[in-house]
Amino acid sequence: MLGRIAISLAAFAFSVGCVTTNVETSDGRPAPPTPRAAPATPTEAPVTAVAAVFGPKPLDTNGNLLPDTIQVELYLFAQPYPTPTLRDGTFEISIYPMGKAGSPDQPSPDPLRGWTVSGEKLLASRAQALAGPCYRLNLSLLDDGRPDDLGVTSVDVVVRFRPVTGARTIAMTGVRTLSLKGSADLFQTGPVEETIEKPGQRMRETRIESKP
């Protein structure tokens, strides 16, 4: 008799421990599934694509009202793997007057400025962004003592990556246009013609004012 009672209690305890409850949100909908990490990209998979995310506005680091530093995050992908990867190699970033860059695979040989990032500098630029691992760079127009006034307010950007393994160079899809318009452009002045009409006469006045 006692044996049967003990078995019954054990069965009851087991049934209580196996109760399953439904997890719902405040509006009664089922809770979303637990997020899973994207699969890691194998290190032996060859790089097939380059992507770039530029900062919202180039920085003016010397206070002369002209932008002089381009902020960018560069990502490498080995398709079809969705997660960005980090590799040894060389990034080549060049800027051109609008319409003068050529194609990403065959860029023009005469950029306004160009940067080559490799070795320790490339290693130091590694960072973790929301999209995954990347290379975070500040590209300065002032490198080598050069001026930041390029004489243009927009440039076309070409980004290429050359793997250290000797594989083919991978170019970012398309040419990106980046504004270099700084605060100095807000205070440029120039002649503005205004036609003033008075009763019985019409005259034209030329005056100087700032452009908004």
Tokens 């205070």 correspond to: 187
> What's residue 82's pLDDT?
94
Structural domain includes residue 123:
yes
The domain of 73 spans 49-182
Q: Quick one: which of 93, 68, 211 has its CA closest to 144? A: 68
- CATH number of the domain residue 110 falls in: 2.60.40.1930
Contact 138, 70 (CB under 8 A): yes
Structural domain includes residue 22:
no
Number of folded domains in the chain?
Answer: 1
> What's residue 22's pLDDT?
54
- Whole-model pTM? 0.71
Structural domain includes residue 105:
yes
> What's residue 16's pLDDT?
38
Positions in the chain short of pLDDT 70: 1-28, 183-212
Structural domain includes residue 145:
yes
Contact 85, 107 (CB under 8 A): no
Structural domain includes residue 164:
yes
> What's residue 209's pLDDT?
45
Q: Quick one: which of 67, 55, 208, 192 has its CA closest to 129? A: 55
Residues 6+ apart with CB under 8 A from 62: 68, 142, 148
Structural domain includes residue 126:
yes
> What's residue 39's pLDDT?
76
Structural domain includes residue 192:
no
> What's residue 147's pLDDT?
94
DSSP three-state, residue 169: coil
Structural domain includes residue 139:
yes
